[in-house]
Amino acid sequence: LSSLESKDPILDKLQHGFPTPFLELPHERTTMWHESLGSLQAARLVHRALQEPSDPSTLSAPSWEYWLSRAESDPDLYEAFDSPSSRTLMLPNYRHAVFDLTDPRIEEGLRISLLAIEQMNQLAAHHGLQFAVAMIPTKEYAYVPFWNEATKPASERIRHLTDLEATVWRRAMAHLDERHIRHIDVSTALRQSIGSGDQPYPISWDGHPNALGQSVYAVAIANAVRSLLRQSSRHAEIVQ
């Protein structure tokens, strides 16, 4: 793994699939803040924006026409999803770098991640706590069922990427099921939101959910936790 990393760094692959220079325009920095709901990344951008003088007239959020023009000007980097009810940009090359299980570093990363989850579950059980894993998809994976509604069909690289992510999901959930570790699939709630005409992600290339998407996360996880607590309470009553 060390030899492979020295010859072909993962970071290079990620940078190849990511917009550069990173958020060079002031209004893109502002959009990240408004649509990412206070993520660490957005906080860093705001900090940087405060240090750089900007023309206030440029700080309005860019329109979809702006983002679509970005996608059309750099089709190797972006993929545009555009339907009557939802629209957003995707970064398939960037995502591919971390889902390609033919890369032994990604395979090892998945193994270590699942092992860490096992250990967290064991630690929680040791202290008498319940444990559950929230399974959160990429934006690209959340939109899989809706490409037939888009103005352009999914490209081969989008289909390949989402097939890779589906494989990771299946392996992860099978691993959790075999070890009786509870998991919460947030993708179902996100897809219900998209299917109802909502926009849970920014229209930009940012893969983080917006305020609406964060609320979808919260409701899905809260409902699942309540269900787990009810099951635990019934089990305790039976044991008593």
CA-to-CA separations, 234 to 129, 218, 231, in angstroms, rounded: 16, 24, 5
Q: Where are the beta strands (DSSP E) in 87-129?
A: 87-90
Kindly report, residue by residue over 39-65, the tens digit of the pLDDT. 554 445 444 544 544 444 444 678 999
Cross-strand partners of 123: none
Kindly report, residue by residue over 128-173, the tens digit of the pLDDT. 999 999 999 999 999 999 999 999 999 999 999 999 999 999 999 9
Structural contact between residues 88 and 201, judged by C-beta atoms closer than 8 angstroms = yes
Query: How high is the pLDDT of residue 100?
Result: 92
pLDDT band at 1 (very low <50, low <70, confident <90, very high): confident
**Element spanning 90, H or E:** strand 87-90
Compare 38 and 173 and report the one with higher pLDDT.
173
What is the average pLDDT score of the chain?
Answer: 83
Token reading at 161: 């990427």
Kindly report, residue by residue over 183-209, the tens digit of the pLDDT. 999 999 999 999 999 999 999 999 999
